[in-house]
């Protein structure tokens, strides 16, 4: 029996950050791979770009969605202020995906001793499925690559399901990203997996269709094992009863001297006849049980083989998850360090602006006020920062009014300032504030 299974999976990508991470993995851009035993970097040069992408995933995504972005930005011009959203924010906060990753592979033994020609034939058949069965155009394919530097060759095909749909509220046609236009639900996905298997077998690839609903394989195996044990006990009991009945019949037939024969009839004792009927009933019971056992045995065998295939596929996902977790932790540490540095820079800028307001000429002070306002608008300064920077300077009233904290609120005086903003006039000033 063939033990090779065709595998096709779909993995939604919901944010641009996730898209960037997946791009780094698919394009082998991460330093972590140097210590990842599951990826043989010396083999990465043989990975095949089925649909190449020279730039980063997010930039490529922007190129595919440029008309969508333009349409969104035009619409935002007429939106209420509280409803305005940047394109990135709108995508990340929506319930829709930003992209979908399609994974194609098979049981590991399917690829053993496969020629490069047949490997490319398999890969091209997978891409034909993307275009002809799923219905994606080449313009919607962000990137597709065949990885041969891992234990089992596989294809990552990242698509952007961008479509134009009629907006029910405005009755106008608008761009949107909708995976459901291509894979409606799990039932539809199962139908597509049937088509994928059929397409491969038509091209001459000897592969089995994975068992439907195989996500529940662990539960089903437990149930099947329980059923098998019960049927085995039942079969043993029925076989034992049949053996006893046959032995009883044989004993009675040996001692039965009053058997009469003619051309059409046989005459035997009543109890012997009853024993014969019992043998027949027990035999029928055993015969009726055999098809049930055979069916269960086949299901267990099929589930076991499917489980082996899924186990290999799950290992692939587990390895990718480990790499993603490692890089997420690394990014988190880098982000904390970057935040610390930015806060240090902002702290120095606040001190510098305060010195400019204290010591600068009127022109410099006015220019500094403009910078402080811009930092506040961009949320780099808080209201407290602006107040602390401006207290006991000639621009105090203007800046406190600007941030909504007029003087009659009781603006804190110099001796109440945070230490970061105090200026010691006894120290030399190293800034050249002349104009």
Q: Is 288 exposed, middle or buried (0-12, 13-18, 19+ CB in 10 A)?
A: exposed
Quote the CA–CA distance of 40 and 32 in Å, as a whole number. 12
Token pair for 295: 């069916």
Could you tell me whether strands 208-209 and 5-13 are parallel, antiparallel, or unpaired per DSSP bridges?
parallel
Task: Spell out a b/e string for 244-265, using b for 16 or more CB atoms within 10 Å of the CB, else e.
Answer: ebeebbeebeeeeeeeeeeeee
- What string of pLDDT tens digits covers the 435 residues of the chain? 445 788 899 999 999 999 999 998 888 887 655 556 667 777 888 899 999 999 999 999 999 999 999 999 988 888 888 888 899 888 888 878 999 999 999 888 888 888 999 999 999 999 999 999 999 999 999 999 999 888 889 999 999 999 988 877 778 888 999 999 999 888 888 889 989 999 999 988 888 765 555 544 444 455 555 666 666 676 666 667 666 766 676 666 666 555 544 555 555 555 666 666 666 666 666 666 666 666 666 666 656 655 665 666 666 667 667 777 777 777 778 778 878 888 888 888 888 888 889 888 889 889 999 999 988 888 888 888 898 898 889 998 889 888 887 655 555 544 444 555 554 444 444 444 444
Count CB-CB contacts under 10 A for residue 182: 20
Instruction: Annotate 54-92 with b (16+ C-beta within 10 A) or e (fewer).
Output: eeebeebbbebbeebbebbeeeeeeeeeeeeeebeeebe
- List Cα–Cα distances, 432 to 22, 350, 353, 370, in angstroms: 49, 17, 13, 19
Longest Cα separation, the chain: 139
3-class DSSP state for residue 12? strand
Residues contacting 377, CB < 8 A, separation 6+: none
Q: What is the model's pLDDT at position 215?
A: 45
State pTM to two decimals: 0.51
CA distance 402 to 409: 13
Separation of alpha carbons 90 and 14, rounded Å: 12
Count other Cβ atoms within 10 Å, centred on residue 99. Answer: 29
Asked if residues 422 and 414 have their Cβ atoms less than 8 Å apart, the reply is: yes
Q: What is the pLDDT of residue 433?
A: 43
Residue listed under structure tokens 């590991």: 108
Residue 62 has a pLDDT of 95
Q: Are the C-beta atoms of 228 and 297 separated by less than 8 Å?
A: yes
3-state secondary structure of 84: coil
SS3 content of the chain, % helix, strand, coil (to 5): 60, 10, 25
C-alpha distances (whole Å) from 297 to each of 210, 238, 300 are: 17, 18, 5
Question: Which CATH fold topology does 5-210 show?
Answer: BirA Bifunctional Protein; domain 2 (3.30.930)
How far is 316 from 102, CA to CA, in rounded Å? Answer: 14
Can you state the angle between helices 270-359 and 362-377, rounded to 10 degrees?
170
């Amino acid at each position: 029996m063939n033990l090779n299974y065709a595998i096709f999976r779909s993995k939604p990508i919901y944010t641009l950050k996730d898209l960037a991470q997946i791009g780094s993995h698919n394009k082998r851009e991460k330093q972590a791979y140097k210590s990842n035993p599951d990826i043989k970097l010396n083999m990465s040069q043989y990975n095949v770009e089925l649909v190449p992408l020279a730039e980063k995933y997010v930039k490529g995504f922007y190129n595919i969605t440029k008309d969508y972005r333009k349409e969104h930005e035009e619409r935002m011009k007429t939106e209420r202020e509280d409803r305005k959203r940047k394109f990135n924010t709108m995508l990340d906060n929506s319930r829709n995906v930003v992209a979908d990753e399609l994974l194609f592979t098979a049981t590991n033994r399917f690829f053993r001793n496969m020629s490069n020609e047949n490997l490319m034939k398999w890969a091209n058949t997978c891409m034909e499925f993307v275009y002809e069965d799923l219905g994606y155009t080449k313009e919607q394919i962000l990137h597709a690559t065949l990885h041969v530097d891992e234990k089992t060759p596989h294809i990552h095909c990242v698509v952007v399901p961008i479509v134009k749909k009629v907006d029910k509220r405005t009755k106008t046609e608008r761009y949107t990203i909708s995976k459901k236009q291509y894979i409606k639900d799990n039932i539809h996905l199962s139908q597509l997996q049937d088509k994928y298997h059929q397409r491969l077998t038509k091209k001459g690839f000897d592969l089995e269709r994975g068992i439907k609903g195989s996500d529940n394989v662990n539960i089903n195996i437990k149930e099947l094992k329980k059923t098998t044990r019960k049927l085995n006990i039942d079969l043993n009991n029925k076989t034992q009863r049949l053996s006893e009945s046959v032995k009883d019949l044989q004993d009675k037939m040996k001692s039965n001297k009053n058997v009469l024969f003619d051309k059409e009839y046989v005459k035997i004792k009543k109890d012997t006849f009853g024993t014969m009927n019992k043998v027949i009933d027990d035999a029928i019971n055993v015969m009726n049980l055999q098809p049930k056992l055979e069916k269960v045995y086949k299901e267990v065998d099929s589930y076991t083989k499917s489980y082996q295939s899924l186990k290999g596929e799950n290992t692939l996902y587990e390895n990718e998850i480990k790499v993603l977790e490692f890089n997420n932790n690394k990014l988190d540490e880098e982000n904390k360090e970057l935040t610390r540095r930015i806060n240090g820079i902002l702290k120095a800028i606040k001190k510098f602006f305060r010195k400019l307001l204290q010591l600068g000429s009127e022109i410099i002070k006015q220019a500094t006020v403009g910078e402080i306002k811009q930092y506040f608008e961009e949320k780099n300064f808080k209201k407290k920062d602006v107040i602390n920077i401006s207290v006991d300077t000639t621009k105090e009233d203007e800046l406190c009014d600007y941030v909504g904290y007029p003087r009659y609120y009781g603006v804190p005086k110099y001796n109440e300032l945070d230490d970061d903003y105090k200026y010691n006039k006894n120290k030399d000033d190293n800034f050249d504030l002349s104009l």
